[in-house]
Amino acid sequence: GITVYDEFHTECEEYLYLEEKGIDTYYLQVKGFDEKFTVKAVEPKRFDSLEEWGYAQEQNGNTIAAQAFLREDGIMLEYYRDLTEEAAPLYEDRGNFEYTIIPNHYEMMNPRCVRNKDKKELRIEMVERKMNGYGMLVDGTAEDFPLEFYFSGFSGTSGEEHTISIPIPEMGAKLTENLPKAEFEYGVVEILSVERTGGLEFNYAATAKEGPRQMYAVQMKTVDEAGKTHLGGSWDMDGEVIHGEVNVNIDDIAENAVDIVLYNPSHWIEGEYNIIIEKPVEME
């Protein structure tokens, strides 16, 4: 089943005392006041699926469910995700550097919004992260229902990797011909140019194959003779072309080529989400 709950915020300790009274029972006291409140921990309400919890939509195996609650300061919309193995690493391990140097997180592009019954987009006042999802406070009232929650979709990745051999040009020279390609499940990566400066700078393009999953980027690394991994350095994107740099000491390489490992291929997973929230949840 799926458990939906708020994350505990340790900053509350600045204002509250929490004292254990017995099994699953606590005293809660606001600092500066004498009165204590008794708080009893109970088993969280569980749901067998997101569809059981709220208004849900599934696209290519990934499901989003949303609910909305009326508050004095607006509408709190919560949404949660049930992701496939290809999408989960990109959204559940956000602190991992290897996943964040490629623009595969929807927060970077802000493609989520809330519209009211008149198709007017409501202003998002606040966003807070929750376990497997988010809460968004939007500027609205009961008169705005039914709401439409729009989400543009997910990226995915896999453990697929390929090794290609890139020729090393003379210092200051740039190669643009007879450069290697690598074919992945959802696209083809083509090296467009290689330039030798302090390290190796290059441009590459990922051409997607037809289908519901379209590859758009890949990461690169080298492994030296001692087995040490050198990750790609800076990255930026100009249209469909990605520019990157491999941090490898060219002087330590005796050959006139260097092996580059292409890994962590990223692909868009087709399927936009348009979830209609008919009415707010009535608070118990």
Alpha helices in the chain (DSSP H): 50-53, 88-92, 97-100
Q: Are 78 and 69 in contact (CB under 8 A)?
A: yes
Backbone phi and psi for residue 143, each to the nearest 5 degrees, phi listed first: -70, -15
d(CA 178, CA 190): 10
- Quote the pTM value: 0.71
Per-residue confidence in pLDDT tens, the chain, 284 aa: 333 333 434 444 555 555 666 667 777 777 777 788 777 777 777 778 888 899 999 999 999 999 999 999 999 999 999 999 998 877 665 544 344 334 444 344 456 899 999 999 999 999 998 877 899 999 999 999 999 999 988 888 888 999 999 888 888 899 999 999 999 999 999 998 988 877 778 888 888 899 999 888 888 887 665 555 555 555 566 655 666 666 566 655 557 888 888 988 888 888 889 999 999 998 65
Question: Which H helix or E strand runs over 217?
Answer: strand 213-223
